[in-house]
């Protein structure tokens, strides 16, 4: 989506908690990890201030010795609108205008600021009429321009801008064998929100954002333990939702309500997808994003939802040279990299 060009790309994922950069070399099934950069954002600074982010990107590219300047970035979620729609078959130019018209009804910013695109899911029958099922994405033009300026100020060439669900699909597609007709879900549990996507037959068929993320988990631990943010973050990472002793139980108890709400929202999404699209159940759930590293979260969600949950490793089919990378350390934060990995694989698109 929002593709301006294609080429040999480095993926950049700017979240509310950290900036992730991934460079992958090679083509097809012979992929090699070229570089990985990760920088936590200072929560005291305005995280999306252009000059601040440009400086971080320059530092990451220099430290990781990334020479190529063509990059693919992900749109910020502040104004992103995800929308499923059915439209009659029509010429591509007319389809773009029809998508824009439908999205204008949903956005909360001025219509002339709308930038939108879509992906086609397939042809379906709606009553007697044959329609196209689409997943559409919309954003505010100012957000897109700020993202492009951030890249350009870092001396980078932004040739592609995508959305999180499509980047997740690219990463998932490269790392998994598809079963015909199976429905898979991937959930990127970030700092401020979670993005849920459903894939089927190598296509994105449903997506939504859930306003629950790691920051809320840190806040409930702060309240439960009467401690500061740094201590709460450390305790959250140390114990997760595994009740191994009294200290762990206190942390797990504090976070369980938030994760149960996340599970409820996931369940609602799955029910809606099955009812709206007359589809079967979800076969597997893959968790990515920083909060996916929380100890025990996969089993916790699996027990509530009754669906196998796995912590995603977007590098599992990408060769990692042990002389260049600490494999154990890399595996520790691999779930953070799913979106950036997907973006870096866009060279094969189109």
What is the domain-level CATH number for residue 129?
Answer: 3.30.1490.300
The answer to whether position 273 is within a domain reads: yes
What backbone phi and psi angles, to 5 degrees, belong to 175? -100, 0
3-state helix, strand, coil in the chain (%, to 5): 40, 30, 30
Q: Show the domain range for 243.
A: 179-312
Model confidence at 347, pLDDT cuts 50, 70, 90, reads low
| Residue reference for tokens 């007709």 | 181
- pLDDT tens by residue, 248-290: 899 999 999 999 999 999 999 999 999 988 889 999 999 999 9
How far is it, in rounded angstroms, from Cα 121 to Cα 145? 28
Residues 308 and 183 in one domain: yes
Span 52-57, mean pLDDT? Answer: 91
Q: How many domains does the chain have?
A: 2
Residues 129 and 233 in one domain: no
Given a cut of 70, is residue 2 above it in pLDDT?
no
The answer to whether position 71 is within a domain reads: no
Given a cut of 90, is residue 85 above it in pLDDT?
yes
The residue with greater pLDDT, 2 or 103, is: 103
- pLDDT tens by residue, 155-207: 999 999 999 999 999 999 999 999 999 999 999 999 999 999 999 999 999 99
Specify the pLDDT at position 8: 62
Query: What 3-state DSSP class applies to 42?
Result: coil
How far is it, in rounded angstroms, from Cα 150 to Cα 307? 40
What is the domain-level CATH number for residue 192?
Answer: 3.30.420.40
Residue 302: both structure tokens together: 């699996």
Query: What's the whole-model pTM score?
Result: 0.91
Model confidence at 111, pLDDT cuts 50, 70, 90, reads very high
The answer to whether position 286 is within a domain reads: yes
Residues 208 and 279 in one domain: yes
- pLDDT tens by residue, 9-51: 899 999 888 999 999 988 877 889 999 999 988 764 444 567 8
Mean pLDDT of the chain: 89
How far is it, in rounded angstroms, from Cα 227 to Cα 245? 19
Pinpoint the alpha helices (H) of 71-212. Answer: 92-104, 141-153, 164-175
Given a cut of 90, is residue 115 above it in pLDDT?
yes
| Contact (CB, 8 A) for 326 and 153 | no
Specify the pLDDT at position 216: 97
The answer to whether position 67 is within a domain reads: no
- pLDDT tens by residue, 314-327: 999 999 998 888 88
Span 100-114, mean pLDDT? Answer: 92
The answer to whether position 291 is within a domain reads: yes
Specify the pLDDT at position 180: 93
Residues 207 and 103 in one domain: no
Given a cut of 50, is residue 348 above it in pLDDT?
no
């Amino acid at each position: 989506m929002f593709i301006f060009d294609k080429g040999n790309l480095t993926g950049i994922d700017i979240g509310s908690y950290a900036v992730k950069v991934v460079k992958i070399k090679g083509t097809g099934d012979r992929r090699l990890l070229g570089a990985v950069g990760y920088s936590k954002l200072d929560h005291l600074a305005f995280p999306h201030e252009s000059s601040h982010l440009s400086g971080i990107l320059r530092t990451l590219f220099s430290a990781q010795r990334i020479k190529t300047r063509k990059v693919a970035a992900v749109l910020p979620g502040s104004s992103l609108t995800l929308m499923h729609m059915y439209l009659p078959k029509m010429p591509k130019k007319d389809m773009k205008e029809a998508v824009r018209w439908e999205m204008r009804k949903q956005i909360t910013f001025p219509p002339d600021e709308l930038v939108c695109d879509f992906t086609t899911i397939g042809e379906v029958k709606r009553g007697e009429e044959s329609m196209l099922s689409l997943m559409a994405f919309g954003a505010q033009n100012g957000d897109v321009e700020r993202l492009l300026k951030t890249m350009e100020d870092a001396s980078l060439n932004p040739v592609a801008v995508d959305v999180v669900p499509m980047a997740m699909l690219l990463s998932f597609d490269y790392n998994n064998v598809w079963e015909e007709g199976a429905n898979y879900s991937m959930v990127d549990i970030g700092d401020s929100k979670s993005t849920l996507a459903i894939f089927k037959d190598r296509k994105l068929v449903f997506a939504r954002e859930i306003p629950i993320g790691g920051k809320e988990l840190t806040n409930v631990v702060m309240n439960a333990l009467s401690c500061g943010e740094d201590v709460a973050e450390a305790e959250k990472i140390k114990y997760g939702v595994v009740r191994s002793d009294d200290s762990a139980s206190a942390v797990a108890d504090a976070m369980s309500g938030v994760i149960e709400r996340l599970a409820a929202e996931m369940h609602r999404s799955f029910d809606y997808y099955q009812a709206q699209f007359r589809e079967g159940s979800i076969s597997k759930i893959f968790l990515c994003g920083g909060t996916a590293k929380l100890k025990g979260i996969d089993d916790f969600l699996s027990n509530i939802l009754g669906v196998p949950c796995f912590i995603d490793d977007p590098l599992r089919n990408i060769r990692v040279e042990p002389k260049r990378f600490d494999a154990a350390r890399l595996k520790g934060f691999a779930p953070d990299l799913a979106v950036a990995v997907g973006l870096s694989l866009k060279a094969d698109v189109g």
